[in-house]
């Protein structure tokens, strides 16, 4: 139930098998639960769609959900990837752009269309960066 709550804005939930590299015939884990975002505007009301980095950064900087701010999730993922020597340039660029948004607005309240969203843009192995705004 906790996972259902924090992944509340994903519009699809599927079960997949997870395979290790080098062993494509025997799944390491079966029934792996994955939450998926689609561009369906009805099922996924916070979907930003293909957007410039600055738009994604603004949405992430201002979004929050049941477990906190999306920016904190992004920064934690950036740090976790660095800790296992698996830096991802797209995540680093996005995190740096979010920092720019936060620095520009640190002395003022963030306003605009995305400011009131109770949402999170999640990264789920599909790099569907802003499709599922609830964390």
Q: Per-residue pLDDT tens for 42-84?
A: 877 777 888 999 999 999 999 888 888 999 999 999 999 999 9
**Whole-angstrom Cα distance, residue 64 to residue 47?**
14
pLDDT band at 41 (very low <50, low <70, confident <90, very high): confident
* CA-based nearest residue to 59, from 78, 74, 81: 74
**Whole-angstrom Cα distance, residue 74 to residue 114?**
17
pLDDT band at 122 (very low <50, low <70, confident <90, very high): very low
> Which of the 8 DSSP states describes residue 50?
S
What's the mean per-residue pLDDT of the chain?
Answer: 78
Measured distance between the N- and C-terminal CA atoms of the chain, rounded to whole angstroms: 14
> Is 7 noted as a catalytic residue in this protein?
yes
How does strand 29-36 pair with strand 64-65?
Answer: unpaired
Options 4, 7, 21, 78, the catalytic residue: 7
How does strand 29-36 pair with strand 12-18?
Answer: antiparallel
pLDDT of residue 110: 52
Question: 35 phi and psi, to 5 degrees?
Answer: -95, 130
| Contact of 12 with 36, CB cutoff 8 Å | yes
pLDDT band at 88 (very low <50, low <70, confident <90, very high): very high
Arithmetic mean of pLDDT, 104-125: 46
């Amino acid at each position: 139930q906790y996972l259902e709550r924090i992944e509340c804005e994903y519009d699809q939930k599927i079960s997949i098998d997870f395979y290790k590299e080098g062993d494509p015939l025997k799944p390491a884990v079966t029934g792996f639960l994955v939450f998926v975002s689609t561009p369906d505007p009805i099922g996924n009301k916070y979907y930003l769609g293909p957007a410039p980095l600055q738009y994604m950064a603004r949405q992430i900087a201002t979004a929050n959900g049941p477990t906190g701010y999306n920016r904190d999730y992004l920064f934690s993922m950036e740090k976790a990837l660095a800790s296992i020597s698996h830096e991802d340039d797209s995540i680093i660029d996005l995190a740096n752009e979010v920092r720019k948004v936060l620095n520009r607005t640190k002395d003022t309240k963030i306003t605009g269309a995305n400011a009131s969203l109770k949402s999170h843009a999640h990264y789920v192995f599909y790099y569907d960066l802003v499709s599922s705004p609830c964390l």
